[in-house]
Structure 1
Amino acid sequence: MTATDLQTTTAAAAGSSAPLRLGTRASVLARTQSQAVADALTAATGVPVELVLISTEGDRSSASIAQLGATGVFVAAIRRALLDGEVDLAVHSYKDLPTAPEPGISLAAVPAREDPRDALVARDGLTLGELPPGSRIGTGAPRRVAQLRALGLGLEIVPIRGNVDTRLGRVAGSAGGPGDLDAVVLARAGLSRIDRAHLITETLDPIQVLPAPAQGALAVECRSSDARTRELLGRLEDTAVRACVVAERATLATLEAGCSAPVAAYAEIAEGETGPELFLRASVTALDGSDAVRGSLTRPLADAAALGRALAADLLDRGAASLMAVGR
């Protein structure tokens, strides 16, 4: 499709009642969160939205996140479909996006965020501290692996992949089967979105396990040239959430790290002396759990990106780069 054809198609859609086409991965979680965005957009604008399911490299591979290595494995195919005019907008788990901008694509909206904390689903209703040494605990994220090892609880960390229900099914008793794991750690946001929050045995305090940058947030993208769709999507924007995730991802970008690095960052809005402020915490943990650097900073909401860069610079000054290389 040529640029002229794409403009003609977009213009025709603007003057008709044709639904907007939303590109999404096919997993239950991706479809659920994309449908929520579609419903919110229709409620706000009256424009119908239909889902278009797209298979990504990350969906087709059975390799671990660390083995996949390159960022964007869950988004590249969807972005290609967007640029090719096969879909009009796309919804991603924000934490899956590369930190570098994609030419021709705009981040048109960051909607309200789910609880960004990690959650434990364990056999027999146990909490993390109640799991006996030697318990097998599954996770696919190097960040979680590093932080769990750093707690020094004597747990055996088992790498896992698969959708949420596949992971839950490996916990003894959680899905009616024997299971081969004592527990798994997942994002609380994902469990909540697909109505599995009742299985959570403990929501992990960020003091123990700090979340991934942008965890629990969604990113809604469209073509930069599509002014109509950008305007429609802007009605879903949550400015406070965007400020938080901008700070978190600026930390990640400055550290030159991706989803396979043991980097955590979590921003909250707090009341300062002169109004709302961003309170940002971040950490880099050696994959073997042997060492970590942590820090925090506070700045006004308007300085979100600068806040993330400043905190990352502090972590680098204290040895973060060498820690990211440990255990690779």
Structure 2
Amino acid sequence: MRTIVVGTRQSSLALTQTNQVIEDLRRICQENGMECEFDVRKIVTKGDRILDVTLSKVGGKGLFVKEIEQALLNGEIDIAVHSMKDVPSESQEGLMIGAVPKRVDPRDCLISNGHVKLDELPQGALVGTSSLRRAAQLRAYRPDLRIQSIRGNIDSRLRKLETEGFDGILLAAAGLYRMGWSDKVSHYLPPEVCLPAVGQGALGIECRKDDDFVLRLLALYNDAETAATVQAERTFLARLNGGCQIPIGAYAEFAWDAEAEACRLKLTGLVGEPEGGRILKETRTGDDPVHLGLEVAESLIGQGAEEILALARE
């Protein structure tokens, strides 16, 4: 009997996600005659410790995964459950993403006082978000809104909506869905208005490259369609060498291509100025996720994305 130790952040959302993953893996083990049990190990990351500074100012990649990856490398845990949008585009030596389960809703959403939609927020309304990507797109769409940084887990941000004078806050729909709080959503923002973060709505199950038993188990859990869409988005991000200091978004999906008479991968990528003054966006269709991610990135570089990225890094 193999005991698999599962590493996770300790927020209620992270633990909810982890327990769902364990439930799924336990079922897969039973269906495939694999004998294993699971233990949970909670790990505090740098991103969890620093809550009084915006993510873009904390800097660095892997704010929410570095300590968990170190525990994997040390053999203290066997798998790690991450929100894919927190995972740097390049894996640590000796580690890999063994499974990307089926994605849930990738969109951003507005939770507002009075349950009003984005277009119904009053002129000059105060909106909270911890994301430069969301802020830039919101400023481009509604320049009149006042954007203020808001940090913390979902629970604390929802409390701040009630106690700190916000008219609304922006969150990932996936987190609310996983917590069973979808009824709190006032408005789902279409990707045309607010393109999601790379990997948003998807989980990544990370493991050591040399753990054959775990790799075999995770291969049975992987969702090929989600893995392909996330790979396209992450390739796009890697080419632009972006992190949370820069407004970058990407969303890939399988869509019917009437010209090709086939279902193909469609990727939209975005790079924006933090103040929302200039937003570059490109959509391409293809069959190979890596090639498609590079193609969209190169197109935006040709349109001046490198200048925006260089200014943002400064």
Smaller-chain TM-score bracket: over 0.9
Sequence identity percentage: 39
Deviation at 1:33, TM superposition (A): 0.7
Matched positions, count: 305
Shift of 1:321: 1.7
Closer, same or farther in 2 for the Cα pair 1:101/1:274, shift >3 Å? farther
Moved more, 274-283 or 217-226: 274-283
C-alpha displacement at 1:243, in angstroms?
Answer: 0.5
What whole-Å deviation, never above 9, does each CA across 1:255-307 have from its counterpart, x for those lacking one?
1111221001000101233532101111111111111111110001xx10110
Q: Is the aligned partner of 1:51 residue 2:40?
A: yes
1:67 aligns with 2:57: yes
Whether 1:276 aligns to 2:263 is yes
Task: Give the one of 9, 13, 20 matched to 1:29.
Answer: 13
TM-superposed CA distance for 1:323, in Å, is 2.1
Alignment of 1:1-328 (within 5 A): 17-46=1-30, 47-62=36-51, 63-172=53-162, 178-272=163-257, 273=260, 275-300=262-287, 303-326=288-311
Distance (Å, rounded) in 1 between the aligned partners of 2:2 and 2:241: 41
Relative to structure 1, the CA distance from residue 283 to residue 114 in structure 2 (aligned partners, 3 Å threshold; closer, same or farther) is same
Deviation at 1:240, TM superposition (A): 0.4
Query: Deviation at 1:153?
Result: 4.0
Contact 1:288 1:326 in 2 (8 A): no
TM-superposed CA distance for 1:195, in Å, is 1.2
Q: What SS does structure 2 have at the residue aligned with 1:19?
A: strand
Gaps of 5+ in 1: 1-16, 173-177
Q: TM-score, normalised by structure 2?
A: 0.94
TM-score, structure 1 as length reference: 0.90
Matched with 1:6 is none
Secondary structure of the 2:217 match is helix
CA-to-aligned-CA distance 1:25-48 (integer Å, 9 cap, x gap): 000111111111111000011332
Deviations for 1:73-106, whole angstroms, at most 9, x for unmatched residues? 1101001111111111111011111111211112
- Secondary structure of the corresponding residue to residue 222 of structure 1: strand
Unaligned runs of 5+ in 2: 31-35
Give, as a single letter, the amino acid of the residue that structure 2 aligns with 1:222.
C
Q: Distance in 2 between matches of 1:229 and 1:186?
A: 32
What is the aligned-residue RMSD (CA, Å)?
Answer: 1.2
Equivalent-residue separation in structure 2 for 1:135 and 1:191 (angstroms): 23
